[in-house]
Chain A
Amino acid sequence: MYNMNTFFRIERSRLIALSILLMLAIALVLTGVKEGGAFRSVEVAFTDGSMFGLQIVPASCESNPPYYHYNGDCGTTPNPPALGGCAIASYPQTITSGGGAKLSWSTLYVGSGSATFQNGKINPGDITAGATGSRNVSPTNTTTYTLTGSWSNGATFQPCSVTVTVTPELPGGGACIAQYFCQGSSLYFKNSQCSNQFIQTCPHGCAAGACLDPDAPTIDFRVRPQLVRSGTQVTVTWSGTDLQSCQVTSDHGDSWSGISGTKTSKAITRQTVFTISCAGELEGSSVIDSKTVDVIPVFDEQ
């Protein structure tokens, strides 16, 4: 006989069976969904060999267009808040006593109409600040720098601040920081034991702990006179700066070398072109010049 107990037993069985089937179906569908492997770009693990085979590792921190990169991580001008206002950052944020940091800031107006930033000041220091900018500071104590100003339309400008922490201790617990430094045109190296070692005299000056590169070469090339009677010789002089070598030639057979000189040419009997070609001390640089000497024509009256 079919009664309520039987009915509920049957329905419960169907319920359990249906549930199990449904869960299996869902699981099958979801496990069929494949996630792709990680995307490995060309710059992951990329290194480039230097001239002597060391491994240079380029980065790409500053790739993002404005307002989309990690604020401050690359050291570029910090992004102002998306809702408007200002942002100010310091690089580095911690310095040792006597060191320096760079403040960098930007502003953005977001509101009705338009407005420009004015009366910008960074204190302490009474630093005049434009809408965006940077400035070196050298606080002797931990200092909080605040950017204030106003919007030209009278809207409220919210100041922003950054703290530069000054620590009296050198990193590494009191030892010297090994580094190069300049004294005049001489390059020295201070090691971690604070001992100075003379490296070299820089032929083109010294700055920021390194010899400066030579400048691009220049030459002063003269041929005198440039209008002569046939059979006359001319004087060729040349000199310059940051030259490694020069070669002077003419299409009349003259040839001299040297980074400077004064020479007398062969007798000029026709138009003659003198050419100077110099290699500069700066790797890959060169400079060329030429001068033409003309011969006064002789009229042969018939």
Chain B
Amino acid sequence: MVRGVTLTVVAILSIATIFAYGIVHGGVITKRAIGAWETLALTFDPSADRYYDYGARHFDAQFEKYYDIEKAQRYFTEALKRDPAHPYANHQLARIAFLKGDFSNALTLINRQIELHEDSVIAAFYIRALIYGFMGEYGLAAKDYEHYRSFENFGWAASNDYAWVLLKADRPNAAVRVLAESLQYYPENAWLLNSYTIALYEAGHLEAARSEAQKAIRAARSVTYEAWHAAYPGNDPNVAFDGVIAIQEAARANMHTILLEMR
């Protein structure tokens, strides 16, 4: 009986210790528990869909404790092994490669995605346009943005990013047109306002650029971490601070450039 009491007390104290540690360093415990559960679930159901769903869960900043890009990559890879024609696995792996800066691999993966599924996952063209843009292939990026926008002509990010490659191609008037239309529906969007500022400036409309720059600065100040994560899905929950600072500093720097020009 004494030994039984001893063991019970020891067990309770052990659990209490783990619990106390969990409160202080909750992420580790939660991640370990999630990992254990996933391993167990996959043992009983190692299907492509389950692997994909778990991968998607670990690739979503909405669930901070779950975010793990390496695990997401492993799960998506497993999903693809089990179903080489999975509708989204190549797409997600391409996104991960892009975020890691491996543009060559990202391009290979997204091309495979497009080859398999063409326009049925139209966001693949948006991803490929992003990859091309980061590679400096602005002409190819523009073509993919145009194709994407022929299906989804309303997303603000596609308008913003299309204007980016138009500006890089020295077509500010076209960028003004794209951004002016999009701003009708997203008048407070910091990214659109920042790009519109630049397009107006480069099209030679300094006063208008200054006016939009002021709006861009105000809008950038209002960007929350949640809004930043919505604008950059798939990124680590803990980097939003740097991202928000970047749009704010860009808006301020652009205003500074405009004011210098207007002196």
What residues of chain A have their CB less than 8 Å away from a CB belonging to chain B? 7-8, 11, 14-15, 18-19, 22-23, 26-27, 30, 33, 35, 38-48, 50-66, 68-70, 73-77, 91-92, 99-102, 104, 134, 171, 177-180, 189, 191-192, 197, 199, 207-213, 283-284
Set of chain A residues within 8 Å of B207, measured between Cβ atoms: 189, 191, 197
| Cross-chain contact B69 with A45 (CB below 8 angstroms) | no
Q: Which of B174, B211, B242 contacts A178 (CB 8 A)?
A: B211
Contact B167 A51 (CB under 8 A): yes
User: In whole angstroms, how far apart are the Cα atoms of A264 and B236 in the complex?
Assistant: 71
Known: A50-B167, A210-B203. A59 touches B232 (CB 8 A): yes
Cβ contact within 8 Å between B14 and A23:
yes
B152 touches A77 (CB 8 A): yes
Known A51-B202, A74-B156; contact A45-B243, beta-carbon cutoff 8 A: yes
| Contact of A59 with B191 in the complex, beta carbons under 8 Å | yes
By a CB distance below 8 angstroms, the chain B residues around A54 are: 197-198, 201-202, 253-254, 257
Residues of chain A within 8 A (CB-CB) of B234 are 41, 60, 63-64
Q: Is the interface of A mostly helix, strand, loop or mixed?
A: loop
Instruction: Choose, from B36-44, B77-85, B92-100, the stretch at the interface.
Output: B92-100
Nearest CB of chain A from residue B59's CB, rounded to whole Å: 9
Q: Does B157 contact A (CB under 8 A)?
A: yes
Beta-carbon contact of B121 and A65 below 8 Å: yes
The secondary structure that dominates the B interface is helix
Q: Tell me which of B169, B185, B242, B247 has the highest count of chain A C-beta atoms within 10 A of its own C-beta.
A: B185
Q: Is the CB–CB distance between B232 and A40 below 8 Å?
A: no
A50 close to B99 (CB less than 8 A): no
Q: B residues bordering A, Cβ < 8 Å?
A: 2, 6, 9-10, 13-14, 17-18, 21, 25, 27-28, 31-32, 56, 60, 62, 69, 87-88, 91-92, 95, 98-101, 121, 123-124, 126-127, 130, 133-134, 148, 152, 154-158, 160-161, 164, 167-174, 176-177, 180-181, 184-187, 191, 194-195, 197-198, 200-203, 205, 207-208, 211-212, 227, 230-239, 242-243, 245-247, 249-250, 253-254, 257
A-B contacts counted at CB < 8 A amount to 256
CB pair B176–A134 under 8 Å, yes or no, is no
Q: For the complex, what is the distance from the CA of A124 to the CA of B64, rounded to whole Å?
A: 41
* CB within 8 Å for A60 and B198 given contacts A30-B25, A191-B211, A212-B173: no
Does B91 contact A70, Cβ atoms closer than 8 Å? no
Known: A33-B28, A41-B101; 16 extra A-B contacts, CB below 8 A, are A15-B10, A22-B14, A23-B13, A30-B21, A35-B25, A51-B170, A54-B253, A54-B257, A59-B161, A59-B231, A60-B161, A61-B231, A70-B230, A92-B187, A102-B185, A210-B180
Residues of A with C-beta under 8 A to B156: 59, 61, 74-75
Question: Can you report 19 residue pairs joining A to B where beta carbons are below 8 Å apart?
Answer: A7-B2, A11-B2, A18-B10, A35-B28, A39-B236, A48-B164, A54-B201, A54-B257, A60-B232, A61-B232, A63-B123, A75-B185, A76-B155, A91-B154, A180-B180, A189-B207, A207-B177, A211-B203, A284-B169
- Candidate in A14, A30, A35, A284 with the most chain B CB atoms within 10 angstroms: A30
When the two chains form the complex, which single residue of A19, A42, A56 contacts B134, counting CB atoms closer than 8 Å? A42
